[in-house]
């Protein structure tokens, strides 16, 4: 009876939880809130989302490119060491993982310096003026009073830089510390080269004795040079070498280990099946939902990818992990073999959302037709998948059960069909009739095709 299935008389799903998809952060407006002859204070907004860090880029008075790293929590930075009365063009990028967003830009001019020109009042007129120029003057009267002879003041002594050290390192940052045993500096500049060999410059105010350099690569040696700025003089450098810490999991086996390597947004990344460097796999990690660390292995969202495919396509996977895709039954077997794994299914419409959670999720190998194994259910979508537990995977060109008319053909999908389905998340997109669409029966029935689904897994968390 390939075209029939058992249907419960009534199912009362719990109230769905509303889950909003994470939005990409946006940069707002870049402004100059304070300008002096040798510095400009920049301010900006982030109207939506958050960034890991920012980069300000500009060219100095000699036309050389400069780059200034700013942590993701800041919304202002002062660019020091500029030349007076000069136009500068600043570009601000937001960094989201390894991806730059922007830029937003600003043109502004530093304040005027003192030119040293003088004019003298003689016989009711002013001497030393130039023809064709307009002058604005302030007249001050000076009353001469005999004062005691001024004390002779010593000229300020030149400051000195002490030792530069790196007391704390992480996989992506180095904290630098230094001393100034004599005198004071107006500001400091840290210079180094990034992982691509590009020079980077990090300005630091004169009162600081420590700075953290972010955005570095793990297990890499960096050389840092510290200069002190004293008036128009640049003193130094003092230098130190530091090696960033290794990642806890240099070859993460899944998105949970990728999460342990450091916080960050949901993203596309590489994992390594079994931790083997020779078995890389590009995946998408959901780092926000229910504590994060989920490896997404199926997504339907717009109907742009054809899911009406055969056995080999489903075995090896297809699509794009940032859009619609099936990761592949071979990968699912490798990810769930020998490791207790939990499964989460997220379902959304424009008006509501629900989820289903299962413990002890596993997919057998090809010799057992990628058979589905499931444990206990919880969630708000209703339990549609337990009906399919123990079933082999089947496609339009291979039905291990040997039916005359396979369920995959009858319902235009590929799934762990039983007789035939309560869930059909690889069905025909946008088909709301005859059990042909993307169905999760306890939530929306058979005559509704769900527009967004994600299936994801991670090591079981007790």
Q: Specify the CATH number for the domain of residue 62.
A: 2.60.40.10
Q: Are residues 211 and 265 in the same domain?
A: no
CA–CA distance, 395 with 298 (Å, rounded to integer): 16
Please list the ranges in the chain whose pLDDT falls under 50: 1-16, 18, 114-131, 133-146
Q: Are residues 237 and 272 in the same domain?
A: no
What confidence score (pLDDT) does residue 121 get? 43
Q: Are residues 207 and 340 in the same domain?
A: no
Going by C-alpha positions, the residue among 359, 368, 356 that lies closest to residue 400 is 368
10 belongs to a structural domain: no
54 belongs to a structural domain: yes
Predicted confidence (pLDDT) per residue in 263-288, tens digit: 889 999 999 999 999 999 999 999 99
354 belongs to a structural domain: yes
What confidence score (pLDDT) does residue 22 get? 56
What confidence score (pLDDT) does residue 95 get? 85
Residue 386 vs residues 123, 216, 390: alpha-carbon distances, Å: 106, 46, 9
Q: Of 186, 220, 244, which residue is a domain's last?
A: 244
14 belongs to a structural domain: no
Q: Are residues 240 and 259 in the same domain?
A: no
Q: Are residues 237 and 261 in the same domain?
A: no
What confidence score (pLDDT) does residue 3 get? 43
Q: Are residues 311 and 396 in the same domain?
A: yes
Q: Of 197, 217, 244, which residue is a domain's last?
A: 244
Q: Give the predicted TM-score (pTM) of the model.
A: 0.61
What confidence score (pLDDT) does residue 11 get? 39
Predicted confidence (pLDDT) per residue in 175-227, tens digit: 999 999 999 999 999 999 999 999 999 999 999 999 999 999 999 999 999 99
Which residue range(s) make up the domain with 73?
29-110
Domain CATH for 437 = 3.90.215.10
357 belongs to a structural domain: yes
Q: Are residues 353 and 455 in the same domain?
A: yes
CA–CA distance, 261 with 258 (Å, rounded to integer): 5
Q: Of 85, 110, 135, which residue is a domain's last?
A: 110
**Given CA atoms 281, 287, 293, 297 in this order, what sign does their dihedral have?**
negative
- Under 8 Å CB-to-CB from 57, ≥6 apart: which residues? 65, 66, 67, 68, 90, 91, 93, 103
| Residue 228 CA, distance from chain mean position | 33
Q: Are residues 63 and 182 in the same domain?
A: no
CA–CA distance, 383 with 397 (Å, rounded to integer): 28
Q: Are residues 293 and 402 in the same domain?
A: yes
Q: Are residues 447 and 339 in the same domain?
A: yes
| Domains held by the chain: number | 3
What confidence score (pLDDT) does residue 54 get? 87
Q: Are residues 292 and 225 in the same domain?
A: no
- How open is the CA angle 17-286-254, to the nearest 5 degrees? 135
Q: Are residues 212 and 263 in the same domain?
A: no
141 belongs to a structural domain: no
12 belongs to a structural domain: no
23 belongs to a structural domain: no
């Amino acid at each position: 009876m390939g075209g029939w299935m058992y249907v419960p008389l009534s199912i009362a799903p719990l109230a769905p939880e509303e889950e909003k998809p994470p939005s990409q952060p946006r940069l707002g407006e870049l402004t100059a809130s304070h300008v002096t002859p040798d510095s400009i204070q920049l301010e900006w907004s982030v109207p939506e989302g958050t960034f890991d860090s920012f980069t300000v880029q500009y060219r100095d008075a000699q036309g050389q490119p400069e780059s200034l790293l700013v942590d993701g929590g800041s919304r202002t930075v002062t660019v020091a060491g500029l030349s007076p009365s000069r136009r500068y063009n600043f570009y601000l990028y937001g960094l989201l993982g390894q991806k730059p967003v922007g830029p937003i830009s600003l043109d502004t001019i530093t304040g005027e310096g003192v030119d040293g020109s003088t004019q003298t009042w003689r016989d009711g007129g002013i001497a030393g003026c130039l023809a064709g120029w307009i002058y604005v003057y302030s007249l001050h009267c000076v009353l001469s009073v005999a004062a005691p002879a001024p004390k002779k003041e010593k000229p300020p002594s030149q400051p000195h830089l002490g030792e530069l050290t790196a007391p704390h390192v992480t996989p992506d940052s180095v904290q630098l510390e230094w001393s100034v045993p004599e005198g004071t500096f107006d500001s400091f500049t840290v210079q180094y080269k990034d992982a691509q060999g590009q020079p980077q410059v990090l300005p630091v105010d004169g009162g600081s004795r420590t700075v953290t350099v972010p955005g570095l690569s793990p297990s890499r040696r960096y050389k840092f040079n510290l200069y002190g700025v004293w008036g128009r003089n640049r003193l130094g450098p003092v230098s130190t070498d530091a090696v960033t810490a290794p990642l806890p999991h240099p070859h993460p086996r899944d998105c949970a280990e990728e999460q342990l390597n450091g916080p960050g947004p949901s993203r596309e990344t590489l994992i390594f099946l079994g931790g083997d460097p020779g078995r890389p796999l590009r995946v998408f990690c959901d780092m926000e939902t229910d504590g994060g660390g989920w490896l997404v292995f199926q997504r339907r969202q717009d109907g742009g990818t054809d899911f009406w495919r055969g056995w080999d396509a489903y075995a090896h996977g297809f699509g794009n992990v940032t859009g619609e895709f099936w990761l592949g039954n071979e990968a699912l077997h490798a990810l769930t073999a020998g490791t207790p794994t939990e499964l989460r299914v997220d379902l959304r419409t424009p008006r509501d959302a629900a989820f289903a959670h299962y413990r002890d999720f596993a997919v057998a190998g090809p010799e057992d037709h990628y058979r589905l194994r499931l444990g206990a259910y919880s969630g708000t979508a209703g339990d549609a998948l337990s009906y399919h537990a123990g079933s082999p995977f089947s496609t339009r060109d291979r039905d291990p059960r040997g039916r005359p008319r396979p369920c995959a053909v009858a319902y235009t999908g590929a799934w762990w069909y039983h007789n035939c389905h309560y869930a059909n998340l690889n069905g025909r997109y946008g088909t709301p009739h005859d059990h042909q669409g993307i169905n999760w029966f306890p939530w929306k029935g058979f005559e509704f095709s769900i527009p967004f689904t994600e299936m994801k897994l991670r090591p079981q968390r007790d």
